[in-house]
A and B are shown apart, each in its own frame.
Chain A
Amino acid sequence: MIRFDITDQLSFMKMGIVESLRLVMDPELHINIIELGLVYGVKIDETNKQIGIEMTLSSPYCPMGESILSAVKNCIEGHFIGFQATVELVWEPVWSYDNITEEGKRLLSI
């Protein structure tokens, strides 16, 4: 779960990034990657105009993994013009059912 620090000047931008990532859907589950809890962290380097996303996938064998990662990159670069996005795929901590938000669980009828 991503945490926001309101004393951080960039926290509003981070929130904007997270909001824009709600547009990236998991093609099998039909819910967005934020509600699924796939995004672990957002880093902004304002000087070099870089946005870094740290995220995971529901399974290392996910056949759509590449598409989801490119969707994240496209989404960020499309919404934050002038910034370059890098997506880092991590497997620790391992994604589990507990990562899904309450809204995500509701959408999945869990």
Chain B
Amino acid sequence: MSTIKHDASLYKIVVIHYLIAAVCFLVLAVMMLFSVDVFSGHYFQPKILAMTHMAVLGWGTLIIWGACYQLLPVVLETELFSKKLAWISLSLFLPGLIALVYSFWVFNPGIHMECGSILLLSSILLFTINVFFTARKKQQGSIQHDFIFTSSLCLAFTTLLGTALVFNFQFAFLPQDQLHFLKLHAHIGIVGWFLLLVIGVSTKLVPMFLVSSYHNTRLLLWSYYLIVVALLLFLVDAYIWGINYKTYFIVLIGSAGIACYLVFIGKCYKSRIRKTIDLPMMHTFFSLMLLAIAIIILPLIITYNLKNDPASVRYSLLYGSMLFMGWLTALILGQTFKTLPFIVWIKHYEHLTGKVQTPMPADLVQNNILKIQAVGLVVFCITFFGGCLFSSVLLKYIGISALLISAITYLVNVIHVLLHQSKTTTYDKV
């Protein structure tokens, strides 16, 4: 049995990741508010590149790292290989992120952008080493182990390709144009890093949070192989031939893998003991719905791309923003308030449980603020994605304003949980 135990040094690493990611989310929402007009053009432009990297690195990756340092030992039933590596990784990551995002925003592909990418690459390689050695400690492998390990390799590969793309702005050494490699860079990141990691971790956490009796991993085996095969086929095929008719078949294989994962979650949901679904778990199910919608958009992008129709650019932007700002954001907004309260609760109450009455982990969260955050997210998804689809600037403004509200409430709630003061009652008074 491996459980969350309070470890002061690990606590600091985890908490700082959550806090910085929450600040990055707010910065991202502000960046989006000041550049609504760019969502009407092509996705390969400075401000979109800056916002995408803030979303995937500052928001998505940082919070996943924080959660990973705490949860990897639980999911893999072992201990984290090195806390020192985690600190070094973070201290390289932050200046790298700032340099990269700023250089994209003002579009200055020179020394700052190159240094930023090198710092990020070093940081991510250290994270990969940490995951590799943590996973290696585990004697008996599991499918979640395969998902997590493959995802960290993909993250390193994504960053390697990203660094090459940054240097290519100045030295133009890649055999094909930036856009060609951008598709590969984006998909190794989305599918290889985020999707595989999310499946690996969520297939342990969701059954646990729902107290589900379904533990069969056959579907997950199928999911893993179908997604990895689809990703490899896409990388080879798109590198050599670009988007073509075979891409439909590759999308079908990948979608079948995602479907296996969704069916697994569905079976856990059906066999759950805990009947009431709390708000954080509702965020999770909402995020899975957005993932399914984003996958449905893919054949449209291929069709328009094959016809050289400019609609392919609009749908690509919709697809990308639905994945990063829809699927990942909803998932993180929900899962933060499932994991962070547990981590903070253990720090305050583990030694007191059973002696005095303590609050439950869920009591550490401000539920009213969480509700505002949830409403903000739903309004954002409906109006912003609607705005992207129908090219309405007004809808995009409404959506991003709602996202800003979500980001502010999220940060306030994270700080509220982190600043929690111990409150106990003796059993005589209960």
Contact = CB atoms under 8 A, between A and B. Distances in A.
Interface of A: 23-25, 27-30, 57-68, 70-76, 78, 89, 96-97, 100, 108-110
Contact of B275 (A59, A72, A73, A109): A109
B273 A61 contact: no
Given A27-B361, A28-B211, A62-B208, A71 B353 contact: yes
Given A27-B345, A28-B209, A72-B354, A63 B3 contact: yes
B74 A63 contact: yes
Nearest to B276: A109
A67 B3 contact: yes
Contact of B4 (A29, A64, A110): A64
A104 to B, nearest CB: 9
A77 to B, nearest CB: 8
B213 interface: yes
Closest 4 CB pairs of A and B: A74-B354, A71-B353, A75-B354, A71-B354
A89 B342 CA distance: 22
A86 to B, nearest CB: 14
Given A27-B361, A30-B360, A65-B1, A73 B273 contact: no
Contact of A23 (B74, B213, B354, B360): B354
B208 A59 contact: yes
B353 A70 contact: yes
Counting chain B CB atoms within 10 Å of each CB, the highest count among A28, A71, A109 belongs to: A28
Contact of A108 (B77, B209, B275): B275
A29 B211 contact: yes
Interface string B340-364: 0010011001111111010011100
Interface in B249-284: 273-276
Contact of A67 (B74, B276, B353): B353
A61 to B, nearest CB: 6
A66 B357 contact: no
B5 interface: yes
A108 B273 contact: yes
Contact of B274 (A29, A61, A75): A29
Name A's interface SS: loop
A67 B352 CA distance: 9
B204 interface: yes
A72 to B, nearest CB: 6
B422 to A, nearest CB: 15
Interface string B46-77: 00000000000000000000000001001101
Interface in B56-112: 71, 74-75, 77
A27 B349 CA distance: 11
B353 A97 contact: no
Given A61-B1, A109-B275, 5 more contacts: A25-B360, A28-B211, A66-B4, A67-B346, A71-B353
A64 B362 CA distance: 13
A70 B351 contact: yes
B171 interface: no
Nearest to A60: B1
A108 B272 CA distance: 11
A97 B273 CA distance: 7
Given A27-B361, A60-B1, A78 B209 contact: no
A107 B383 CA distance: 39
Nearest to A96: B213
B354 A57 contact: no
A70 B358 CA distance: 14
A23 B355 CA distance: 9
Contacts of A30: 360, 362
Interface in B198-225: 204, 207-209, 211, 213
Contact of A97 (B4, B208, B213, B346): B213
B427 interface: yes
Contact of A61 (B5, B208, B351, B361): B208
A74 B1 CA distance: 20
B208 to A, nearest CB: 6
B306 to A, nearest CB: 46
B1 A89 contact: yes
B353 A108 contact: no
A102 to B, nearest CB: 14
26 contacts: A23-B354, A23-B357, A24-B354, A27-B345, A57-B1, A58-B273, A59-B208, A61-B208, A63-B208, A64-B4, A64-B346, A65-B1, A66-B1, A67-B3, A67-B4, A67-B346, A67-B350, A68-B353, A70-B351, A70-B353, A74-B352, A74-B354, A75-B355, A108-B275, A109-B275, A110-B275
